[in-house]
Chains A and B, each alone.
Chain A
Amino acid sequence: MKEKIISLFKRMEPDKEKSPLLHTAYDAFFTFAFTPNHVTKDGVHIRDGMDLKRTMVIVVIALQLCYLWGTLNIGHQHFAALGMYQNLILEGFHLKLFYGLVQLLPIWIVAHVVGLGVEFYFAARKKHAVEEGFLVTGALIPLIMPPDIPLWILAFSIVFAVIIGKEAFGGTGMNVVNIALLARVFVFFAYPGTISGDEVWVSGLTKAGPGGVADYGWIHMNVLNPIFESFGWDTFSQGAAVIDGYSGATPMALAAKGGWAAVMEHYTPGQMFWGLIPGSIGETSKPFIIIGALMLIGAGIASWRIMVSMVLGMVTMALVFNMWGFNAYMEIPWYYHFSMGSFLFAMAFMATDPVTAASTNRGKWIYGFMIGVIGLIVRVMNPAYPEGWMLAILLLNVFAPLIDHFVLQSNINKRMKHVQ
């Protein structure tokens, strides 16, 4: 039976020379469905069951809870602005879920179609198999974008990141900086209006403040509403007004203006911890990010050294700021920095990218610690950038080879000392 299926597939295999792009695509899907029949030679005779596909898919699985929360929270923030279903995430569940899906699915599809398209094209040109790196990049990018990101900007940023950030350096494993963050930093600097300020974190409003109204698309009004009506459920109501006193500001923006007191006017610590706040799609739910981080550590996929040292670096810097106390932002207790912004998401999924992080164990401690320190400095001291982790990680990505160099040099020196 299995032999028949395989020979059927093998008969469909396009010619490698005549149509390289088709062959690359075929090969990617065939090896996805069937682990190849390759056997070992010149070296070990047995191999570990682990391969890059499995490594990458485990990261993708660890992100799924963030996807689930992100979908619901897009809806939740939208309705919270309208003063509806604002107490619990599960109130108005169908509306939040479908509202979130309508926002998130196009982002996810564009990220994968564009990213994999570039990946397949370069794999065909270089005549090697499609490497699995983009599986994770493609899963990460939607989670670090605001829910209202225009799709053409998203597509543009991914093309930029994958070509300039990865393929120009030689493909998976060769890139210097984190591809997902490079896509985000591209949007951040090229189209700042779509990814910063108070307007962009809550979707579907004409204005995220008093005077704004809900603005739904064709699909909400003509597809979803009739279905919900037929079940007798609540429906989307076009033109519902944003409640008085509402602002779409994230805790980060509020803290920059007035410290912890300003944050507390809008959000409770519990809301911030559980993730009922506006922000990038995947970054808000702290428990789900922590579960993902523990999965990665438990499976031995992501480096616990980087995560622990990044926490240590951030806490150290936060304590220094607490003691300094120059302004209200610096006085925010160190433990609240965990639930604001994207620290945990950056720690679990961004800083731990093995290709761009330091590659020696000792180097990982330094690398993570420096991200923690620098990221918090950017967050607290630089009013131009509301959040610091993206820039801190990209900066340390560039310095990671230097950190490794010093670690290796100390190993070399220890060895060479005995020679003289």
Chain B
Amino acid sequence: MESRIAEAPTAVSPEGEPLIVKLRRGFDVHLHGEAPKKVHSEVSVNRFAVQAPNYLGLAPMPKLMVEVGQHVLAGEALFFDKNRPEVHFVAPVSGELIAVNRGERRAIQELVILADKSIQYRTYDKIPSLDASREELFAFLKDSGAWTMFRQRPYNLLADPDAVPRDIFISTFDTAPLAPDLNLVLSGREAAFQKGLDVLGKLTTGKVYLGLDARGNAVSSAYSQARGVQKVGFKGKHPAGNVGVQIHHIRPIRSKEKVWTLGVQEVITLGTLFLEGKYDASRIVALTGSALEKPIYVSTYAGANLGDLLKNQGVAENSRIISGDVLSGKTKTAEQFLDVYDDQVSVIPEGNEYEMFGWLAPQSARPSTSRTFFSGIFPFGWIYNATTNTRGERRAFVVTGQYEEVLPMDIYPQHLLKAIITNDIEKIEGLGIHEVVEEDLALCEFACTSKQPLQKILREGIDMMIKEGL
């Protein structure tokens, strides 16, 4: 087994043993509120939603194909985007469409479905075999709604219906704070996962790459023994499990190139579609965070209502519900729904209180990449109870080299962000905006001494690049 330090992009040899990429830079944020590794299926969620804003790159006004009050089957089309009418956005569960919630300028935000007691699935005339042509497979995926699970890099957009991806990347471990254990998530569904990988192999002209956990944890054999894919191990702290970091070290995205990424559970849904002929959007979701009395793993479906998910878990007063992890997730209310690509809910205390001399002599241990806190000088097994307090005020960029310390990529984040602020398109492209999305710079934003909104600036840059057609 070959092993080496790789901070710069490296090409992977096409044959032979899986390569291990060791990443020196990064930072693990250890928080209280990890869910015990047992999946509970008795949590009942009544309402599910398909949320148009989850899919990046849609035209503002999706066209509805159903009406409020209508009963829909799981996998039945709900709406389409007028720029790509053949791609259907489908229901994760069967039930009655009870509401279409609109936002600014009446743009559709949520289609809410009141789920049936037992899910009924849409049936298909013909499931194409894997020997079918790529066009036939593409057409089926678009019609069945499975297409909406493919996210395209650069920029994390919904996959372009007219483009064949250069490669497809899947990370099989998540290093974010309190992230779900993807081995647990997979267990019992290994066959569907392998089938999903087989399907993906037919969709790209390149390869399907699987990023494996090489940090020494037990890895499910469905990952380590997966067939028909290229496996690359990653060893290091967060964000080693981010698919963007893995792409950067396997085969970086250059201008004009398009690759796809999927989560493990999306691969399982894809595999189930081809194995059993049903669109099974079931998801195992980790409910985590120190503001929960009982963090657990639950089995539910994509787009579950957060209030329903959390109703028996004892959400503390004055806490924040986040769909996703605490670094790159979205703030939600209990009335809102889990974002479609998320498999984690984090609930942490709000930090809306003053702290006397908090910057000088903090009254509680807090995570920090700096070595100026007691727990940073003696970093042995500390677990933190982090709140949403900003821990200081926003300032101009002063400190340098700090982002690079936590980002294992050959990218200069601070200079990329400054290029975005100054609208220097050529430099933005040259400094590698194609290779990062918000979650990849989330840790840099966490570490930022000047409390700058890095992910927001990056998304503005991405929007600008999309507008320029780059």
Contacts and interface: CB of A to CB of B under 8 A. Distances in A.
Interface of A: 2, 5-6, 31, 33-55, 57-58, 129, 131-133, 170-174, 298-301, 303, 354-355, 357, 359-361, 364, 404, 408, 411-412, 414-416, 418-419
Nearest to B388: A39
A45 B348 contact: yes
Contact of A173 (B320, B398, B454, B455): B398
B446 interface: yes
Q: 5 closest A-B pairs (Cβ-Cβ)?
A: A51-B392, A35-B358, A173-B396, A412-B430, A49-B366
Nearest to A298: B371
B399 A411 contact: no
Given A43-B328, A46-B31, A172-B395, 4 more contacts: A38-B390, A44-B455, A298-B371, A360-B412
B453 A45 contact: no
B29 A46 contact: yes
Given A35-B354, A354-B398, A355-B398, A408 B431 contact: yes
A37 to B, nearest CB: 5
B350 interface: yes
Contacts of B326: 44-46
Contact of A50 (B254, B372, B430): B372
Given A299-B370, A419-B256, A42 B348 contact: no
Contacts of B352: 37-39
Nearest to A36: B393
Contacts of B354: 2, 6, 34-37
Contact of A52 (B329, B355, B371, B398): B398
B404 interface: yes
Interface residues of B, number: 74
* Residue among A2, A31, A47, A416 with max Cβ neighbours from chain B (10 Å): A47
Interface string B304-332: 00000000000000001010001111010
Contact of A415 (B31, B254, B451): B254
Given A50-B449, A51-B451, A411-B431, A38 B389 contact: yes
A359 B401 contact: yes
Contact of B400 (A37, A49, A354): A354
Given A129-B393, A298-B371, A34 B430 contact: no
Contact of B448 (A42, A48, A173): A48
Contacts of A33: 356-357
Interface string B431-457: 110000010001001111111011110
Given A35-B354, A354-B400, A361-B404, A51 B320 contact: no
Given A48-B368, A411-B412, A43 B357 contact: no
Contact of A44 (B31, B401, B442): B442
Given A44-B442, A173-B398, A359-B414, A51 B449 contact: yes
Contacts of A419: 254-256
A361 B442 CA distance: 21
Interface string B157-185: 00000000000000000000100000000
B134 interface: no
Contacts of B432: 411, 415
Contacts of B450: 52, 173
A43 B417 CA distance: 15
B393 A39 contact: no
30 contacts: A6-B354, A34-B355, A34-B356, A35-B356, A35-B389, A36-B393, A39-B389, A44-B326, A46-B327, A46-B386, A47-B392, A47-B451, A48-B449, A50-B370, A50-B391, A50-B392, A52-B398, A52-B449, A54-B372, A54-B392, A55-B370, A57-B359, A131-B395, A173-B396, A299-B370, A299-B371, A300-B369, A360-B415, A411-B431, A418-B252
A354 B401 CA distance: 9
Contacts of A131: 395-396
Interface of B: 29, 31, 177, 252, 254-256, 320, 322, 326-329, 331, 346, 348, 350-360, 362, 366-373, 386-393, 395-401, 404, 410-412, 414-415, 427, 430-432, 438, 442, 445-451, 453-456
A418 B256 CA distance: 11
* Residue among A49, A57, A361 with max Cβ neighbours from chain B (10 Å): A49
Nearest to B392: A51
Contacts of B414: 359
Contacts of B367: 46, 48-49
Contacts of B331: 41, 45
Contacts of A355: 398
A5 B356 CA distance: 10
A415 B434 CA distance: 10
A45 B388 contact: yes
Contacts of A46: 29, 31, 177, 326-327, 348, 367, 386-388, 446
A2 B415 CA distance: 42
Contacts of A54: 359-360, 370, 372, 392
A39 B392 CA distance: 10
A411 to B, nearest CB: 6
B388 A48 contact: no
A299 B367 CA distance: 15
Given A172-B396, A173-B397, A37 B415 contact: no
Nearest to A172: B396
B388 to A, nearest CB: 4
Contacts of B390: 36, 38-40, 47
Nearest to B453: A43
A173 B397 CA distance: 6
A350 to B, nearest CB: 16
Contacts of B358: 34-35
A412 B431 contact: yes
A48 B391 contact: yes
Contacts of B256: 419
A38 to B, nearest CB: 4
